[in-house]
Structure 1
Amino acid sequence: MAASYVTPRLVLRPTDERDAEFFFELLNSPKWLANIGDRQVYSVETAERYIAERIVAQREKYGYASFTLLRREDSVKIGVCGLYRRDGLQLVDLGFALLPKYEGFGYAFEACQELIQKASEDFKIEELAAITLPQNVASRKLLEKLGFQFEKFFHLPNDEKELCYYLK
């Protein structure tokens, strides 16, 4: 199993099937649906399959994928942060999402900073991409705070949504 990482307030643990109930909640939260999209995860069972087929499979192939974010103080699952291989992107994508009640406390920034460092140190990934919808102002601000630079607008294959493409 891949390593977990610890920050002052978080544990970043590799996502696995025991996160299915949490993933079901996260992937169906209004902000996920609006800003990331419908992943057609409509039950805990489909969340288990999603994790196995998309996250665990990527980790087995590349050594990295999604990390579930747990608060150190109480081990509550609050979000995800990960390094993702996506069709249509040549570079590894830094992605993140929190349950709405945990936004605005700096958790995403803390998790992303840690993962950016580990991407370089542990996985030898020197350049990262990040994508977001133009209207997702909070994510755009976070990416810029993390040192990402806006490059262009673009579309992923088979997706009509225009996205902002950032590089770090």
Structure 2
Amino acid sequence: MSTYKSFETERLLLKPTTEEDAPLILALLNSPKWLQYIGDRNVRSEADARSYIQTRMIPQLQRLGYSNYTVIRKSDREKMGVCGLYDREGLEGIDIGFAFMPEYEQKGYAFEAASEIKRAALEVFGITRISAITSRGNTASQKLLEKLGLTFSKMVQIPNDKEELMLYEFTIG
């Protein structure tokens, strides 16, 4: 895994998610906002979380060199959430996404992590079109996407999801 890039900000380390992050992924995927805004992924144990990482995150990392990053606070090495770049079926451009455990919300960590991941997308990975999807009720996510420079484009549906989602986009050039 060490051949893949990690990133750093003033307060945070962002490293590609690995099986050792299974406890965080288990907690995050079962947190109230994840279930409300992203959906139930049927991850009920650390073994399920390891499998989710192996099948949903690592293949894209191996294929494209970027995927899901575990966000770690430098001061105490606490794993707080995830931020990443996702090649999603049914979306043009690469999707930027983020999710944090409730106790780390409203502290600027998501913006700090997502700003660095957006910078990496443009400068390290050469991505020219960044997309993001969020549910209509997730105003915190919408505000963060706008703060990152993405603008609302249209309502979309992605394959295997009946909910209409808000699509935000950012394009270079």
Pairwise same-fold verdict (TM > 0.5): yes
- Please tell me the root mean square deviation across aligned C-alpha atoms, in Å: 0.7
Counterpart residue number, 1:165 = 167
Report how many aligned residue pairs link the two structures: 168
Match of 2:28 in 1: 26
Tell me, in whole angstroms, the C-alpha distance in 1 between the residues paired with 2:95 and 2:55. 18
| One-letter amino acid matched to 1:97 | A
- Consecutive unaligned residues of structure 2, counting only runs of 5 or more, are none
Does the alignment pair 1:15 with 2:17?
A: yes
Matched, 1:42 2:44: yes
Aligned to 2:55: 53
Structure 2 residue matching 1:123: 3-state secondary structure:
coil
Candidates 4, 7, 24, aligned match of 1:5: 7
1:21-70: CA deviations, max 9, x gaps?
Answer: 11000000011000111111111001001001110111001110000000
Amino acid at match of 2:162: E
**Superposed displacement of residue 91, structure 1:** 1.1
State percent identity of aligned pairs. 49
Q: How far apart are residue 79 of structure 1 and its match?
A: 0.5
Q: How does 1:135-150 map to 2 (within 5 A)?
A: 135-150=137-152
Separation in 1 of the partners of 2:24 and 2:10? 22
What residue in structure 1 maps to residue 158 of structure 2? Answer: 156
Name the amino acid aligned to 1:155.
Q
Where in structure 1 do 4 or more consecutive aligned residues deviate above 4 Å? Answer: none
Which residue does 1:91 correspond to in 2? Answer: 93
Determine the C-alpha separation between the residues in 2 that align with 1:121 and 1:41.
Answer: 34
Give how far 1:103 is off: 0.2
- Aligned-residue offset at 1:124: 0.5
**Residue type matched to 2:77 in 1?**
S
Question: In structure 2, which of residues 124, 127, 147 is the aligned counterpart of residue 125 of structure 1?
Answer: 127
Aligned with residue 62 of structure 1, among 50, 61, 64: 64
